[in-house]
A = this chain, B = another copy of it.
């Protein structure tokens, strides 16, 4: 899917820009069915509905298999867009990546980031290279059968979608990609039953484990598309086993509410204009506060220990992946996340790393997603920041 296909045919872009331009809106929600902030932007004319190319959000569920806040938000978003665009919601659902991570543990605040694209399609943009700006491309794969979840078929599906998204974005080279966000389907008890009835074997019928396997496959898919790992099916054996193999720019979520791999690619392109820039840094463990500084530095920001109000105002969105260290220790000290029957380990780690990153930023509107298998160093993850140039 090329992002600009969302422009209704025959409707010219409202701005006479010669280059495409990305706008990023970070919006609050009162509950997972509250899209009033986006509706208000539509009403004010700040965004045109047809400009919305992707949404990434943090809803207040538990982030697990039975987190229905993601489905609720998605249904509400698609209803809103369908009403404004005069298109069927089911059609939008298949085209528009809406990637949600459930779980606002600790200080984390429910919010969503709307990516809106204006200006000409990338293909028609002025020939000569400009100073460039942050660009976006999106793609949604074909629906993924349950028996493919966590296997090489899913890796290949994600890699293909990343390449398609890059093509549509005008991001010229893999090294220009700053960050790739993917949402992958997982196996539920019901889907496992259905696959079994159809004669297929799922990798695991345990929904929690299937989410981990799906995230691993997504990370490998991104890594292959970006040239971080070779495109070799033998690598399937490394998934969830060899954590030295990872992408430095992939952020993968998995959930019951999607049936296809949804991909959002963000990176810099000379064909785009605007003031937005993005940087991403790997986190080596859950205490790696230095990774936040490292992600802020290329954007010309320094937190000492917290961003100044002026710098904080430049920040448009923050994305974090993290993981409860599977070896049971953080810098030699035992943690209890993996042996806790009361609170899911991913909820634990999101709250802790979210608190740390929010402290540096001085802002609780941080997208923090657990399950960072092969997304950044083992036991760590990564942190990415979108900000306006100073």
Q: Write the A358-372 contact mask toward B (1 if CB under 8 angstroms, else 0).
A: 111011110000000
**Copies of this chain, how many?**
4
B348:A68 contact, CB within 8 angstroms: no
Interface segment, one of A142-150, A163-171, A216-224, A323-331: A323-331
Q: Write the A66-88 contact mask toward B (1 if CB under 8 angstroms, else 0).
A: 11110110011001000000000
A330:B290 contact, CB within 8 angstroms: no
B331:A363 contact, CB within 8 angstroms: yes
Contacts of A358 in B (CB 8 A): 287, 352, 356
With A287-B359, A306-B289 already in contact, the answer to whether A333 and B111 are too (CB < 8 A) is: yes
Contacts of A32 in B (CB 8 A): 68, 71-72
In the assembled complex, the CB of A128 is this many whole angstroms from the nearest CB of chain B, namely 41
Interface segment, one of A5-13, A131-139, A152-160, A334-342: A334-342
Contacts of A356 in B (CB 8 A): 355-356, 358-359
A40: Cβ under 8 A from any B Cβ: no
In the assembled complex, the CB of A101 is this many whole angstroms from the nearest CB of chain B, namely 13
Query: Which residues of A (43-74) have their CB < 8 Å from a CB of B?
Result: 60-69, 71-72
In the complex formed, the residue of B with least CB distance to A61 is B68
B105:A343 contact, CB within 8 angstroms: yes
B66:A106 contact, CB within 8 angstroms: no
Contacts of A71 in B (CB 8 A): 31-33, 72
A274: Cβ under 8 A from any B Cβ: no
Prevailing SS type, chain A contact patch:
loop
* Complex alpha-carbon distance, A42 and B351, angstroms: 37
Q: Write the A299-321 contact mask toward B (1 if CB under 8 angstroms, else 0).
A: 00001111000000000000000
In the complex formed, the residue of B with least CB distance to A196 is B327
* Complex alpha-carbon distance, A27 and B107, angstroms: 29
In the complex formed, the residue of B with least CB distance to A364 is B333
* Complex alpha-carbon distance, A327 and B69, angstroms: 23
In the assembled complex, the CB of A322 is this many whole angstroms from the nearest CB of chain B, namely 10
Q: Write the A244-267 contact mask toward B (1 if CB under 8 angstroms, else 0).
A: 000000000000100000000000
B290:A305 contact, CB within 8 angstroms: yes
Q: Which among B64, B189, B288, B293 is the interface contact of A328 at CB below 8 angstroms?
A: B189
* Interface residue range, chain A: 35 or more
Contacts of A72 in B (CB 8 A): 32-33, 68, 71-72, 75
A141: Cβ under 8 A from any B Cβ: no
Q: Write the A367-380 contact mask toward B (1 if CB under 8 angstroms, else 0).
A: 00000000000000
B330:A190 contact, CB within 8 angstroms: no
A33:B75 contact, CB within 8 angstroms: yes
Contacts of A363 in B (CB 8 A): 287, 331, 333
In the complex formed, the residue of B with least CB distance to A205 is B326
Q: Which among B69, B287, B336 is the interface contact of A110 at CB below 8 angstroms?
A: B336
* Complex alpha-carbon distance, A11 and B71, angstroms: 36
29 CB contacts below 8 A, A to B, read: A32-B72, A33-B72, A63-B341, A65-B340, A68-B72, A104-B335, A106-B353, A107-B287, A107-B335, A108-B352, A109-B330, A109-B334, A110-B334, A189-B339, A190-B334, A193-B328, A287-B358, A287-B364, A289-B306, A292-B305, A305-B305, A331-B362, A331-B363, A331-B364, A341-B347, A351-B351, A354-B355, A355-B355, A359-B359
Interface residues of A (CB under 8 A from B): 28, 30-33, 60-69, 71-72, 75-76, 79, 104-111, 188-190, 193, 207-208, 256, 286-290, 292-293, 303-306, 327-328, 330-331, 333-344, 347-349, 351-356, 358-360, 362-365
For the complex of A and B, the 5 pairs showing the least CB-CB separation, nearest first, are: A64-B341, A106-B352, A352-B355, A109-B333, A351-B351
